[in-house]
């Protein structure tokens, strides 16, 4: 079924629930969305020294992201070229070699095949080793330390891809002048990827109800935030490329308790970022970079 038949923009904006259930649609998205879009991999602060690596997923494809000797970054498919085994089964670390635990094919940090056990007997020394390097993710680019990869050589640059959404991410990414990202903390969400992506991409409407219990106990009185804070308007942003954001237009969001705000120097933020960003699309909010990189900054 063509995508446009799943949406009814003309009447009331209904969506065919198959979008969230159909295995066939999901399989198609892996090719039409995930194989063509910029996908978040990691943050540069997790790859400090040459040989540092993390593993990540691009759609369902496992990849290794490594810091190179020349300081650059590479991402490669975590699949041995011999029999398809994962060559790295750690979440993070530092190494000179990724060695397959099946037959021992060994790749260096750039993904080049450097050692094949019994190469002379097994392959009569006729193996084209450079031709059997790990499959490289052709595009790896960064934005304020965020590392993205893309399989599509025809895709726009990351900077162009984020041209309009970037200003919504900048308040989070530039709030601290020397930010380090920690983790990763990994969770599994059972459900279609669009459930989470769409939520972060918009929906400032849900906050007072979904998070009511947190709003209550995190207010100074313990009985809920002041009306003027609870009812400050939010804004939503939608980008033709699929990015989106939701954010409040009050500098203290809806969590007006001291414990939430005491570690922010609002005067300093105003000086560095300007009133418009502290009060506008802002120092708090949530956003999705299409398709499924979502961020939430309290």
CB of 91 to another protein, least distance (A): 4
CB of 207 to another protein, least distance (A): 12
| Residue with Cβ nearer another protein (91 or 265) | 91
Kindly write down the DSSP assignment for every residue of 209-249, as one continuous string.
HHTHHHHHHTSTTSS---HHHHT--EEEEE-TTS-EEEEES
CB of 246 to another protein, least distance (A): 19
Residues of this chain that bind another protein (CB under 8 A):
89-93, 182-183, 185-190, 209-210, 212-214, 216-218, 222, 259
| Residue with Cβ nearer another protein (243 or 252) | 252
Residue 261 CA to residue 211 CA, distance in Å, equals 18
Q: Catalogue the long-range contacts made by 213-220 (C-beta closer than 8 Å, 24 or more residues apart).
A: 214/255, 215/254, 215/255, 218/255, 218/257, 218/259, 218/260, 219/255, 219/256, 219/257, 220/256, 220/257, 220/258
| Residue with Cβ nearer another protein (12 or 185) | 185
Between vectors from CA 251 to CA 249 and to CA 255, what angle results, nearest 5°?
A: 95
CB of 211 to another protein, least distance (A): 9
| Residue with Cβ nearer another protein (58 or 158) | 58
| Residue with Cβ nearer another protein (12 or 259) | 259
**Distance of alpha carbon 45 from its chain centroid, rounded?**
15
Q: Is 95 exposed, middle or buried (0-12, 13-18, 19+ CB in 10 A)?
A: middle
Q: Are 84 and 134 in contact (CB under 8 A)?
A: no
CB of 21 to another protein, least distance (A): 17
Residue 247 CA to residue 233 CA, distance in Å, equals 9
CA dist 10 → 4, 7, 278 (Å): 11, 9, 37
CB of 64 to another protein, least distance (A): 13
CB of 155 to another protein, least distance (A): 29
| Residue with Cβ nearer another protein (91 or 152) | 91
| Residue with Cβ nearer another protein (190 or 268) | 190
Sign of dihedral through CA atoms 20, 21, 26, 32? negative
Q: Are 292 and 29 in contact (CB under 8 A)?
A: no
């Amino acid at each position: 079924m063509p995508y446009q038949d799943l949406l009814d923009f003309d009447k009331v904006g209904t969506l065919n629930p198959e979008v969230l259930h159909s295995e066939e649609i999901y399989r198609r998205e892996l090719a039409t969305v995930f194989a063509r879009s910029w996908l978040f991999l990691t943050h540069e602060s997790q790859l400090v020294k040459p040989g540092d690596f993390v593993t990540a997923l691009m759609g369902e494809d496992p990849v290794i992201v490594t810091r190179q000797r020349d300081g650059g970054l590479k991402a490669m498919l975590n699949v041995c070229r011999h029999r398809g085994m994962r060559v790295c089964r750690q979440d993070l670390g530092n190494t000179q070699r990724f060695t397959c635990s099946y037959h021992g094919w060994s790749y260096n940090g750039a993904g080049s095949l450097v050692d094949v056990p019994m190469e002379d007997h097994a392959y009569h020394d006729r193996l084209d080793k450079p031709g059997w390097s790990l499959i490289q993710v052709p595009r790896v680019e960064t934005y304020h330390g965020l590392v993205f990869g893309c399989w599509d050589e025809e895709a726009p640059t990351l900077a162009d891809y984020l041209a309009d959404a970037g200003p919504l991410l900048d308040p989070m990414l530039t709030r601290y002048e020397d930010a380090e990202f920690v983790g990763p903390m990994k969770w599994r969400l059972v459900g279609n990827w669009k459930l989470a992506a769409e939520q972060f991409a918009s929906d400032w409407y849900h906050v007072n109800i979904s998070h009511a219990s947190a709003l209550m106990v995190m207010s100074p009185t313990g009985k809920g935030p002041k009306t003027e804070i609870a009812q400050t308007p939010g804004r939503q942003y939608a980008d033709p490329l699929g990015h989106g954001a939701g954010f409040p237009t009050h500098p203290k969001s809806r969590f007006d308790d001291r414990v939430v705000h005491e570690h922010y120097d609002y005067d300093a933020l105003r000086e560095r970022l300007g009133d418009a960003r502290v009060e506008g699309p802002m120092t708090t909010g949530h956003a999705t970079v299409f398709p499924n990189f979502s961020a939430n900054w309290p």
